Structure 1
Amino acid sequence: MQNILTLITDPRNAMLTPRLSNAVRDALALARGKVGPADWLDPGVACDIPFDNVAPAEAEAAARTALRGMPVDVLILKPENRRKQALVADMESTIIRNEMLDEMAYEAEIGEQVAEITRRAMNGELDFYEAIRERVGLLKGQPASLLDRVAEKIKLMSGAAALVDTLKQHGVYCALVSGGFDHYTVGIAAQLGFDEQQANHLIVEDGAIAGIREPILGREAKLEALRRVASQKGITPADCIAVGDGANDLAMLGEAGLGIAFHAKPKVQEAAQYNIRHGDLTALLYAQGYRRDEISGRG
């Protein structure tokens, strides 16, 4: 069949049942669709439902109605070129749970002021470049030791290690691309096994934070990273999967063959074609058709 409707939930909940998948299949049939049997990628967590003769938007709406608000993500995908050959991932609030500028600000006791700027910038309400200059400016003069103290607070997003390890085992090139700081991307990339990383660089002078190196890497740099990685690997952006949560991720999400907004800001969810709102980062694997026994830590 020409389309796949994939249902995914949080593996820590694993509440996806045959009854729910059958309710979605029935809804597609009522929309005059041709519907195939459910293919369980991971019982309780993810399944594929092949279908034809229903427009993707109508199929997604029918599925969400049938699910009645259950915490299940719905993706409408094509079977061809489903498994991508490169991953380009945002870091903060995506691969890790933290927003590192916010963490630095709270450590410096100006957290609320900086966090509000971050929230508005990530939701597309403020210019990203001016917002990061303003936030770094507020931290100017703070001791450089602050950077290492805050690094101890980093927490990986659930499923991050499984995502990167599984993709690496299947020969996928993995790039970590952040609008944050290389003081943190270097360590996270090494810890998880990313093939490369890029991020902004904080200037430290006389043992204190002095500013940010220009040019600042943001929306355009992430899009360019996607294109560069594809070119270097001899593939196209259509052969890549990208993931992020903020407004400065939208350009790369829109150009990637599979661009997923992960637990994203509301305006980003509205603009993105694909959203994961409930699952963890292993949802990116299920979206590509990986099965439970292929996923690191899920066997």
Structure 2
Amino acid sequence: MAALAQTKELFRNANAVCFDVDSTVIKEEGIDELAKFCGVGDAVAEMTRQAMGGSVSFRAALSERLSIIRCSREQVKKLITDHPPQLTPGIKELVDRLHQRGVKVFLISGGFHCIVEHVAAQLGIPSHHAYANRLKFYFNGEYAGFDESQPTAESGGKGKVVAHLKSNYGLQRVVMVGDGTTDMEACPPADAFIGFGGNVVRHQVKERCTWYVTSFTELVKELEKT
């Protein structure tokens, strides 16, 4: 109980809150939606489950999934236009409340920057506060790979982003919120982790984190205590 109280206190007094995007800030997994749009949904969804469960390295899973999808620049644009990412209920109010309190909000995603920046814009989060993987395309728009230098392209990458944020912004109290093992592994360097199960429940996350919520309303209510 002491650990739960401490996590809640850190959240109420955070300098910054970092959110995972897929299945946390938005209802779906961006890479799975892209795969379905490109006609290879089933094969890629199974790899996503393995990656989120921690049974394969994130970089390997990302590379394998993208090599199956092989999306063009035009397909990515059309996906965002025809099937824009769906925000999880309550996230807009939560981000607004955090901003009102002067708390910095960041998005840290193993998904794709072209989708994440669209989500950031919907939530009023500056684009430079969004960290995600970047797809590469040839001049003709065909798939050319992904930027492997991005920290979010590897296991443990979200923790590297948090460490970078703490150093660059001088942040003392950073909270990470997410549904997967890659989010939980970002604490430390994050000072606290909140597991989120509003879209999908990852049992290893639910069992191991000190505070697990299924609605962003719970976090809004916690802020109202101060």
Specify the alignment match of 1:274 in structure 2: 211
Superposed, 1:137-216 pairs within 5 Å as 137-140=67-70, 142-151=71-80, 152-153=82-83, 154-195=85-126, 196-205=129-138, 206-216=140-150
Q: Secondary structure at the match of 2:156?
A: helix
Specify the alignment match of 2:62 in structure 1: 132
In 1, Cα distance between the equivalents of 2:50 and 2:182? 12
Partner amino acid for 2:122?
Answer: Q
Residue 108 of structure 1, CA deviation: 1.3
TM-score after normalising by structure 2? 0.86
In 2, Cα distance between the equivalents of 1:244 and 1:270? 14
| Contact 2:23–2:29 (Cα < 8 Å) also in 1 | yes
Q: Secondary structure at the match of 2:119?
A: helix
Task: Flag structure 1 segments of 5+ consecutive residues without an equivalent.
Answer: 1-55, 58-74, 295-299
In 2, Cα distance between the equivalents of 1:224 and 1:283? 28
In 1, Cα distance between the equivalents of 2:49 and 2:9? 37
Which structure shows the higher helix fraction? 2
Residue 232 of structure 1, CA deviation: 3.0
Of 249-258 and 105-114, the range deviating more from structure 2: 249-258
Q: Secondary structure at the match of 2:216?
A: coil
Q: Secondary structure at the match of 1:175?
A: strand
| Contact 1:219–1:250 (Cα < 8 Å) also in 2 | no
Q: Secondary structure at the match of 1:76?
A: helix
Relative contact order higher in (CA < 8 Å, ≥ 6 apart): 2
Residue 256 of structure 1, CA deviation: 2.7
Flag the 1:186–1:80 CA change in 2: closer, same or farther, 3 A.
Answer: closer
Q: Secondary structure at the match of 1:252?
A: coil
Specify the alignment match of 1:284 in structure 2: 219
In 1, Cα distance between the equivalents of 2:92 and 2:36? 27
Superposed, 1:38-117 pairs within 5 Å as 56=1, 76-78=4-6, 81=10, 82-117=12-47
TM-score after normalising by structure 1? 0.66
Identity of aligned residues (%): 31
Count of residues in correspondence between the two structures: 214
| Contact 1:97–1:155 (Cα < 8 Å) also in 2 | yes
Task: Flag structure 2 segments of 5+ consecutive residues without an equivalent.
Answer: none
**RMSD of aligned alpha carbons:** 2.1
